Amino acid sequence: MQLVRHSQQTLKTALISKNPVLVSQYEKLDAGEQRLMNEAFQPASDLFGPITLHSQSDWITSHPEAPQDFEQFFSDPYRKIPSPDKHSIYIQSIGSLGNTRIISEEYIKWLQGYCKAYFYGLRVKLLEPVPVSATKCSFRVNENTQNLQIHAGDILKFLKKKKPEDAFCIVGITMIDLYPRDSWNFVFGQASLTDGTGAVD
């Protein structure tokens, strides 16, 4: 197990920007929102605790990537931004998410609540659940785990066709394993930034 701690200065750099657009947005926050932002980089704050890496098989440790701070993210020319006519996140559940329909609905409502809190200002809408067969996706049985797996790329194509006009993005949620191509064992999720579609299991 490994703890990754970011210094107070790193957090300040991530949250306090000299970018005039970000500065003006920060100034528009009310007192409570500014207090929350300021609290984030205090040493005693429990808003951003240390990240615990539970094993060396963790994705972060086994797939090192160049770091990206908030300034880089904000300035990325390819970053999509919601607009007045594209301001909704749609969640499409695929197959059962629990042992009963009631449990599945409870899970998806929890996810809707988290998305509303995290993506503040965007609407989060639930689409009517669909069975896996409705996606017409390719599937296989994993030769190592013997688990049923569905093709992530096919799910993205299905979601693109279902994406409503006011959607900023549409996300497919399933409890069935995903795989991106025959040579891969599995994948946690896959997304298309250009199409505004994503699928996770």
Indicate the DSSP class of residue 118. Answer: H
Q: Could you read off the pLDDT of 1-48 as tens digits, one per residue?
A: 455 555 556 655 555 667 787 778 778 888 888 887 777 667 677 766
In the chain, the percentage of residues whose pLDDT exceeds 90 is: 39
Integer angstrom CA distances of residue 41 from 15, 23, 79, 134, 168: 8, 17, 25, 47, 30
Distance CA 174, CA 22 (A): 36
Q: What is the pLDDT of residue 144?
A: 85
Question: According to the CATH classification, is domain 88-200 in 3.40.390.10?
Answer: yes
The 8 Å CB, 24+ separation contacts for 183-188 are: 185/142, 185/144, 186/142, 186/149, 187/152, 188/59
Cα angle 25, 28, 33; round to 5: 95
Q: Which of 129, 77, 128 is nearest to 98 (CA)?
A: 129
**Residue extents of the structural domains in the chain:** 2-75, 88-200
Q: What is the pLDDT of residue 159?
A: 97
pLDDT, average across residues 84-108 = 87
> Is residue 176 classed as helix, strand or coil in its secondary structure?
coil
Give pTM, 2 decimals.
0.74
pLDDT, average across residues 148-154 = 93
3-state secondary structure 133-167: HHHCCCEEECCCCCCEEEEHHHHHHHHHHHCCCCE
Q: Could you read off the pLDDT of 52-93 as tens digits, one per residue?
A: 666 655 666 677 778 777 778 888 888 888 999 999 999 999
Q: What is the pLDDT of residue 1?
A: 46
Q: What is the pLDDT of residue 90?
A: 98
183 pLDDT above the threshold of 80: yes
